[in-house]
Amino acid sequence: MPKFAYSARDKSGKSVSATLEAPGRREAIRILGARGLQVASISESTGAGKGAAASAGVKKGNAFAAFLTKGSEKPTRGDRLAFLEALSDLMASGMSAGESVRLLSQRIKEPRMRTLCTGLWERLSEGGTLSRSMAEFPTVFDSATINLIQAGEATGSLNDTVARLIVHLVEQREMKRKLVSAMTYPAILMLVAGGVITFFMTFLLPRMQGLLRSLGGKLPPSTQLLVNISDFTKSYGIFVVIALCIVLVMFWQWRNTDAGRLATDSWLLKLPLVGPFVLSQTVLSFSQTLSVLLENGITAIEALRMTERQIGNRVHRAAFNTATARVMEGESLSQALLRTKCFPDLVLDRLAVGENTGNVVPSLKDIAKAFQKDLTHRLELFTNVITTGVLLVVFVFVGFIAFAIVSAVFTLSASFSR
């Protein structure tokens, strides 16, 4: 009978490592489960058995990889929150994580979620932990999520960890929704205004131009300028649009490089309204993420490393990386961030108070709440400024068109009366 080497945790959370004789891998897992052990890893200890298991694992892995490559059924990062919410609901009713995943794999009908749950259950049924199973889906679960789940498994507080993670992800989702909804109206306004102006310059004005010329006389400067713009738009407008598209594509490709991303992120911080908005977004991101990681038992250095990867602006990310290196040398986080000169003094003062009193997590949560409100306020201000600017440009242009046409009519009428 083959032997299996395993490592597991008993009901008290103590680690246990030993060997077990069983007819097969699944039988070994069932025996250990009956003993009240939660299997972390298990492998066949005999040479031949290992080779067979490895061969079977490769075949199974290849089949599973092919299963995952089905286009419409491939799970994405957008499925993470829905899965965690469904998992939390089942675990809250008293089911274990493994049983919850197994039930989800059988009951869920949505193709991508069913693929995800089935894949996770495949790994769990082989003796893997939930965090290790999640690591097989890097397009769905990022490293911060995986490490949080691992910490919850190690401390026996998986239910609470998943609940906190859901709250964190919901807050991030709501902020993104606010950003998208706030920018939708200005974008539509700019599109409509551009369409109306283009229609007038390329369709209406040429017909009015023929009427004005038929009256004879010299056009006033404002009208002549409008006519010249219309002629240029008709003759070279398509080439200008093509050139702009090429420039934008080249700029976007350059921005996707490390040097381009760093340079453009630096430019954004220098813009009047955009810079403070990006800074608030960075502070909200690092305070939310770091508080959740520390609250769930992730070590300070590992939490800082994972938080760094959640910061979008490369300038701020580099500054946070420098601060993390100083923290590893024994410096406090607030002092290390102060040296970077990238973060507001008020934030660092509140963080320093939390470090001095031993209440870092509550301080980070208070900072996150304050900057969530600040970001909402800045988003509204940014939207109002863009909307007002677009309307002002449209009104000025429409006024100029009206002035040019009226001037032409009066000038030509005066010359005709003579």
Looking up tokens 């769930």 gives 296
Identify the pLDDT of residue 52. 42
Of 68, 103, 120, the domain-final residue: 68
Regions of the chain where pLDDT drops below 70: 1, 11-13, 23, 25-27, 30, 34, 39-41, 44-72, 210-217, 412-418
Q: Would you say residue 166 lies in a domain?
A: no
pLDDT of residue 330: 87
Whole-number pLDDT of residue 214: 67
Question: Is 61 a domain residue?
Answer: yes
Residue 221 lies in a domain: no
Is 161 buried (19+), middle (13-18) or exposed (0-12) by CB count in 10 A?
Answer: buried
Domain range enclosing 368 = 268-374
Q: Are residues 57 and 108 in the same domain?
A: no
Angle at 275 between CA 273 and CA 278, to 5 degrees: 110
Quick check: 199 and 230 in contact, CB under 8 A?
Answer: no
Q: How far is CA 304 from the centre of its chain?
A: 18
Residues 58, 122: one domain?
no
Helix (H) or strand (E) holding 189: helix 158-199
What secondary structure letter does DSSP report for 77? G
Same domain, 25 and 116: no
By CB neighbour count within 10 A (0-12 exposed, 13-18 middle, 19+ buried), where does 190 fall?
A: middle
> Looking at the structure, do residues 273 and 367 belong to the same domain, yes or no?
yes
Residue 290 lies in a domain: yes
Residues 274 and 351 in one domain: yes
pLDDT score at 414? 66
Sorted by sequence, the CB contacts under 8 Å of residue 245 that are 6+ apart come out as none
The 8-class DSSP code of residue 183 comes to: H
Domains contained in the chain, number? 3
Distance, in Å, from the CA atom of 346 to the CA atom of 279, rounded to the nearest integer, reads: 13
- The reply to whether 278 and 343 lie within a common domain is yes
Same domain, 106 and 136: yes
At residue 381, the pLDDT reads: 84
Question: So what's the pLDDT on residue 245?
Answer: 94
Report if residue 189 sits inside a domain. no
Domain assignment present for residue 403? The answer is no
Which CATH number belongs to the domain containing residue 29 in this structure? 3.10.20
Look at residue 400 in the predicted model and tell me its pLDDT.
Answer: 84
**Which residues are bridge partners to 19 per DSSP?**
5
Q: Looking at the structure, tell me whether residues 92 and 7 fall in a common domain.
A: no
Give pLDDT, residue 51.
Answer: 43
Q: Are residue 42 and residue 112 in the same domain, yes or no?
A: no
pTM reported for the whole predicted model: 0.64
Give the CATH number, domain containing residue 364. 1.20.81.30
pLDDT at 243: 95
Residue 167: inside a domain: no
Pair (117, 137) in one structural domain: yes
Please check whether residues 310 and 369 belong to one and the same domain: yes
Q: Is residue 146 part of a domain?
A: no
Tell me: do 293 and 326 sit in the same domain: yes
pLDDT for 54 equals 38
